[in-house]
């Protein structure tokens, strides 16, 4: 029996819905999402395996491309363009409710240079006016890319035509992942992402950018409980109190919510130990970024 597979990089500006789209395409939550720009900080592979004929689509979620303000931003942008090197095609996500601007045009140019086929995904059609969607398709149409698909990633509407566009771009050959695997992200990274997601959804303004979460250990105890120890890093002492919250309420709520999600994932009781530490200006310091795994 022949099988086919392909790697598809999902790129675009911050907050356009790339991670939401990857989750919708895979059918399982494999990437965290939030209304804060620059939620995604690494490449995350989400895998969709279909049968008759057996074929595998590997979607590579990437950080939003933006003008870098620090070392972290520079590293993230490099990571995105690097992901194009191994991609069979790119999904270029644009927000239907925001006019196409210089940020999108820059990405379009880089995609042209890369030579990979590009499917432009016009997202958030559920909240856009029909005229906005038509306008967006017309303006983006000038780039003359491989295909254009309007979708609502949030409502999981319109994703089927994306798959149809990608199928002819698959290459015959072995599948990269077992058929029941939806991501290759290790539990340790996923647990850290879930903690960060809960903070992103609760914190305002600039603080979300200052947060990083590292899970040091996941250990299954003899009684079956999974013990997870994680450190939440902030950049300044003043931020520590905000992250902990009045009387420790914020930290506790984030812990409870993350624990619930991890218990559903692992199918067993979870003990989550969350600590908060200051790592001064970590977003600018290469040594700190190395240590934190960026």
Ligand X SMILES: Nc1nc2c(ncn2[C@@H]2O[C@H](COP(=O)(O)OP(=O)(O)OP(=O)(O)O)[C@@H](O)[C@H]2O)c(=O)[nH]1
Q: Which residues bind ligand X (CB under 6 A)?
A: 14-20, 33-35, 37-40, 63-64, 123-124, 126-127, 152-154
Of 6 and 103, which has the nearer Cβ to ligand X?
A: 103
234-232-210-189 Cα dihedral, nearest 10 degrees = 150
State the minimum distance, in angstroms, from the CB of residue 193 to ligand X. 11
Of 87 and 153, which has the nearer Cβ to ligand X?
A: 153
Of 38 and 283, which has the nearer Cβ to ligand X?
A: 38
- The alpha carbon of 222 is separated from its chain's Cα centroid by a whole number of angstroms, namely 34
Q: Which of 5, 19, 23, 231 binds Mg ion (CB under 5 A)?
A: 19
Of 37 and 245, which has the nearer Cβ to Mg ion?
A: 37
State the minimum distance, in angstroms, from the CB of residue 144 to ligand X. 24
Rounded to whole angstroms, the Cα distance separating 117 from 165 reads 10
The partner in contact with residue 75, picked from Mg ion, ligand X, none with C-beta cut-offs of 5 to 8 angstroms by kind, is none
Of 4 and 93, which has the nearer Cβ to ligand X?
A: 93
67-93-189-288 Cα dihedral, nearest 10 degrees = -10
State the minimum distance, in angstroms, from the CB of residue 61 to Mg ion. 6
How many chain residues bind Mg ion (CB under 5 A)?
Answer: 4
Rounded to whole angstroms, the Cα distance separating 38 from 171 reads 32
Of 110 and 240, which has the nearer Cβ to ligand X?
A: 110
State the minimum distance, in angstroms, from the CB of residue 125 to Mg ion. 19
Rounded to whole angstroms, the Cα distance separating 5 from 252 reads 43
Which position's Cβ is nearest ligand X? Answer: 64
Of 102 and 178, which has the nearer Cβ to ligand X?
A: 102
Give the pairing of strands 118-123 and 147-150: parallel
The partner in contact with residue 14, picked from ligand X, Mg ion, none with C-beta cut-offs of 5 to 8 angstroms by kind, is ligand X
State the minimum distance, in angstroms, from the CB of residue 75 to Mg ion. 16
The partner in contact with residue 28, picked from ligand X, Mg ion, none with C-beta cut-offs of 5 to 8 angstroms by kind, is none
State the minimum distance, in angstroms, from the CB of residue 12 to ligand X. 6
The partner in contact with residue 49, picked from Mg ion, ligand X, none with C-beta cut-offs of 5 to 8 angstroms by kind, is none
State the minimum distance, in angstroms, from the CB of residue 64 to ligand X. 3
Residue pair 183/47 in contact by the 8 Å Cβ criterion: yes
Sequence-distant (≥ 6) Cβ neighbours of residue 17 within 8 angstroms = 33, 93, 95, 123, 124, 153, 154
Reading the block at residue 182, the tokens are 């939806």
Q: Which of 40, 123, 125, 210 binds Mg ion (CB under 5 A)?
A: 40
Stretch that binds Mg ion, among 14-22, 132-140, 264-272, 282-290 (CB under 5 A): 14-22
| Residues of this chain that bind Mg ion (CB under 5 A) | 18-19, 39-40
């Amino acid at each position: 029996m022949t099988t086919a597979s392909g790697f598809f990089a999902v790129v675009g500006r911050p907050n356009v819905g790339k991670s939401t789209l990857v989750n919708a395409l895979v059918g399982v939550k494999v990437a965290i999402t939030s209304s804060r720009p620059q939620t995604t900080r690494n490449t995350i592979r989400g895998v969709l395996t279909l049968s008759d004929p057996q074929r595998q689509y590997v979607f590579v979620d990437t950080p939003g491309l933006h003008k870098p303000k620090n070392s972290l931003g520079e590293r993230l942008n490099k990571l995105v363009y690097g992901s194009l090197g191994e991609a069979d095609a790119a999904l270029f996500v644009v927000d239907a409710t925001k006019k196409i601007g210089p940020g999108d045009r820059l990405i379009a140019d880089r995609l042209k240079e890369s030579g990979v086929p590009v499917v432009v995904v016009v997202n958030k059609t559920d909240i856009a006016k029909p005229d906005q969607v038509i306008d967006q398709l017309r303006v983006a149409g000038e780039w003359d890319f491989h295909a254009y698909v309007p979708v609502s990633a949030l409502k999981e509407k319109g994703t089927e035509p994306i798959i149809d566009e990608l199928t002819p771009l698959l290459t015959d050959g072995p599948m990269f992942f077992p058929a029941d695997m939806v991501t290759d992200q290790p539990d340790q990274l996923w647990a850290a992402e879930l903690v960060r997601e809960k903070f992103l959804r609760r914190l305002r303004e600039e603080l979300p950018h200052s947060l990083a979460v590292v899970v040091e250990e996941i250990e299954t105890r003899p009684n079956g409980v999974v013990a997870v120890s994680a450190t939440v890093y902030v950049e300044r002492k003043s931020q520590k109190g905000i992250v902990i919250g009045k009387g420790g309420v914020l930290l506790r709520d984030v812990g409870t919510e993350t624990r619930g999600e991890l218990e559903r994932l692992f199918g067993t009781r979870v003990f989550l130990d969350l600590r908060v530490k200051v790592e001064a200006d970590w977003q600018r310091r290469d040594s700190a970024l190395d240590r934190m795994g960026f």
